[in-house]
């Protein structure tokens, strides 16, 4: 990992601590992954005020790293946020990405597919929204909905009008394979991926949905569908577990983020993003000799008050 401007023992301790924290929530051994092993209320021993100060530091660091990403114009970064309703996806985007330049960052929420999207393969609508080189793309939900919500509500497959012979018991395993191949393709073409599952408890979701009903700024989000989906909680958790188990790879691992405490979730998300960007060895382009001569001519011209010819 490139250390950037950090020096000395304090810098080394900073990165070592981040590394331990990240490994704790990164799914490196998906075959043994069990969602029940991950406590939604965990805070890894952090207090709220400390976590918030760390988040702020990471947000400031992200501002610098985004500038380098944009200037280098080699990598793109795709951040995926998945979680049930009220898991904190919107607030994570608002609070963690606050320091990013909107010119190089696009957020796309994936909602119910349109008729046009249903007429294409299930990855088509996501492929259209991928960030270009130098940019950061944030997917609020993503193509993973096709192995999560659609798996729980399998009647939605009918709307996709797939040839009957292709809808078999193996369709979910086939879609996992398609997703893995798609993500390998992205990585081989310069798009780094970060995949977060915001894990919230059923009780915390209930509290947040109730609070939403009493908040004029959020009540518009309320829907009876949220209540109906709670009855399918176990099915949703099974779908998440199977999806993470089958699509957490060394190149594009999942991070399971305890999300009952939003302040901890935001700190962990920010920590992972900074870590991944740091590992891309981002820097501002270096001028060759011709470029240096041009800069000197511009400097001389500006000092003299005349135009560059």
Query: Which residues, at least 6 apart from 113, have a Cβ–Cβ distance to it below 8 Å?
Result: 125, 159
What is the domain partition of the chain in residue ranges? 24-304
Name the token pair of 277: 């960007």
Q: Which of 86, 102, 182 is nearest to 138 (CA)?
A: 102
Mind listing the pLDDT tens digit of every residue in the chain (309 residues)?
Answer: 344 444 444 445 555 678 899 999 999 999 999 999 999 999 999 999 999 999 999 999 999 999 999 999 999 999 999 999 999 999 999 999 999 999 999 999 999 999 999 999 999 999 999 999 999 999 999 999 999 999 999 999 999 999 999 999 999 999 999 999 999 999 999 999 999 999 999 999 999 999 999 999 889 888 888 899 999 999 999 999 999 999 999 999 999 999 999 999 999 999 999 999 999 999 998 888 898 899 899 998 889 876 555
**E-assigned strands of 12-135?**
76-82, 105-109
What is the rounded distance in angstroms from the CA atom of residue 80 to the CA atom of residue 194? Answer: 6
Answer for the pair 77, 69: CB distance below 8 angstroms, yes or no.
yes
Query: Is residue 99 classed exposed, middle or buried when 0-12, 13-18 and 19+ CB atoms within 10 A define those classes?
Result: middle
Query: Which residues, at least 6 apart from 246, have a Cβ–Cβ distance to it below 8 Å?
Result: 30, 173, 176, 180
The residue assigned the tokens 């935001």 is 266
Query: Which of the 8 DSSP states describes residue 110?
Result: -
Answer for the pair 242, 172: CB distance below 8 angstroms, yes or no.
yes
- Predicted structure pTM score: 0.91
Task: Residues 24-304: name the CATH superfamily.
Answer: P-loop containing nucleotide triphosphate hydrolases (3.40.50.300)
């Amino acid at each position: 990992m490139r250390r950037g401007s950090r020096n000395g023992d304090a810098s080394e301790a900073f990165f070592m601590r981040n590394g331990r924290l990240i490994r704790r929530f990164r799914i490196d051994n998906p075959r043994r992954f069990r969602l029940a092993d991950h406590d939604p209320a965990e805070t890894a021993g952090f207090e709220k005020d400390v976590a918030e100060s760390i988040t702020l530091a990471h947000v400031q660091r992200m501002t610098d790293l985004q500038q380098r990403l944009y200037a280098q114009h080699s990598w793109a970064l795709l951040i995926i946020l998945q979680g049930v309703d009220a898991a904190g996806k919107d607030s994570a985007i608002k609070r963690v990405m606050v320091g990013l330049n909107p010119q190089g960052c696009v957020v796309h929420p994936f909602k119910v597919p349109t008729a046009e999207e249903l007429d294409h393969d299930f990855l088509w609508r996501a492929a259209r929204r991928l960030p270009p080189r130098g940019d950061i793309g944030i997917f609020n939900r993503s193509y993973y909905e096709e192995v999560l919500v659609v798996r729980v509500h399998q009647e939605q497959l009918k709307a996709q009008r797939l040839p009957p012979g292709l809808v078999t018991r193996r369709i979910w395993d086939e879609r996992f394979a398609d997703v893995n191949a798609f993500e390998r393709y992205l990585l081989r073409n310069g798009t780094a991926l970060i995949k977060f599952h915001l894990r919230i408890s059923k009780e915390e979701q209930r509290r947040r949905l109730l609070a939403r009903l009493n908040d004029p700024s959020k009540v518009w989000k309320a829907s009876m569908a949220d209540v109906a989906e709670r009855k399918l909680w176990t099915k949703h958790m099974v779908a998440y577990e199977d999806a993470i188990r089958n699509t957490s790879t060394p190149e594009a691992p999942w991070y399971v983020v305890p999300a009952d405490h939003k302040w901890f979730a935001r700190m962990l998300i920010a920590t992972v993003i900074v870590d991944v960007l740091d590992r891309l060895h981002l820097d501002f382009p270096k001028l060759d000799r011709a470029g240096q001569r041009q800069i000197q001519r511009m400097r001389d011209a500006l000092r003299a008050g005349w135009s560059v010819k």
